[in-house]
Homo-oligomer: A and B are copies of this chain.
Amino acid sequence: MASSSMGADTGSVLEQVADGLTVAELDERGLLQRIFPRLGGAPAAAVPVGPGDDAAVVAAPDGRTALSIDTLVQDQDFRLLWPAGYRTTGFDVGWKCAAQNLSDINAMGAEATSLVVSLTLPGSTAVAWVEDLADGLRAALAGLGAPRCAVVGGDLGGGPALVVTAAVTGDLGGRAPVLRSGARAGDLLAVTGSPGRAAAGLALLESRHPYEELPAALQELVAAQSRPTPPLALGPLAAQAGAHAMMDVSDGLVRDAGRLARASQVAIELDPQALLPFARPLAGAATLTGADPLAWVLAGGEDHGLLAAFGPRTVPPAGFTVVGRVSDGAGQVTVGGAEPGAVGWDHFAG
């Protein structure tokens, strides 16, 4: 299992709502009646059949649908109570569940059209926490810019830990999907956003520095971890601009670049001078936690930005930063000509 195990539970949802109703006190129908009104309606043309039947029916206007699935597990992907004292809200988990699924559709150059969500809930889970999760799902769809996407169905059940799985569909708008395998020697490699912020936020959450006392700029890094913001406009724009290859950066720049390089059978050279501007704003968090900010940029996951290869004469859409080049090879990734493992902040910042 690649996901980092975070050991034993450090909090319980029950603690968060001292005297609230728990899901054990409601049946499935009662819980659904509390969740669905919070999710908002779906556009009738895009969703001919919404929640409440055996399956939903979603429009797929170009005769294809993109499809992905992603899961968040308590104490694997989030803690309910972090060492820094931050309590993960249902809203956070709902937002993150939507964001990471929408990001997978974005990375194909598609627009998300629907989510189905399966919740596995310990009986002690506060109903208010689940309602907050529904609010987070809806807020992410609106806030990230997925106006065509709605939650069209789901599944509820009990279990020993919170497990939130969503599957997402997407519309390619008649375009070819942008795969990981299309990068060619000579391409420019570009990323969106500022990689490493979510990893800095994770380090702050795992530290003993109280979250409440962090300056606003560092609390924003925590938000990058707990409520990531994939750039949903940029996937379709990159596809329209002719991106040769694209993927979601969920497991770190070097690791995901390696996947793109192997899928395309090319080599990727990352330019450390292009990455330093991402590392510098992380210096405060790095000092506080004793970390290397360039390591966050190179290896930190969960930002859910895009990594894309464009032809050498293509100007990437605004929002992309060129960070490297593609050359002939067989899946190698180097940073300034060196193995990524040998690269640290000290090499470039000093």
Residues of A within 8 A of B (CB): 1-3, 5, 23-24, 27-29, 31, 48-49, 52-71, 73-77, 103-105, 107-108, 110, 114, 116-118, 120-121, 123, 152-161, 163, 165-170, 172, 177, 179-181, 246-248, 263
Contacts and interface: CB of A to CB of B under 8 A. Distances in A.
A67 B58 contact: yes
Given A57-B64, A57-B108, A105-B55, A69 B154 contact: yes
A67 B114 contact: yes
A248 B161 CA distance: 28
Contacts of A116: 67-69, 167
Contact of A56 (B23, B67, B160, B163): B67
A103 B103 CA distance: 29
A27 to B, nearest CB: 5
A177 B57 CA distance: 8
A169 B167 CA distance: 10
B160 A75 contact: yes
Nearest to A54: B107
A3 B263 CA distance: 42
A68 B52 contact: no
A152 B52 CA distance: 26
B60 A66 contact: no
A93 to B, nearest CB: 14
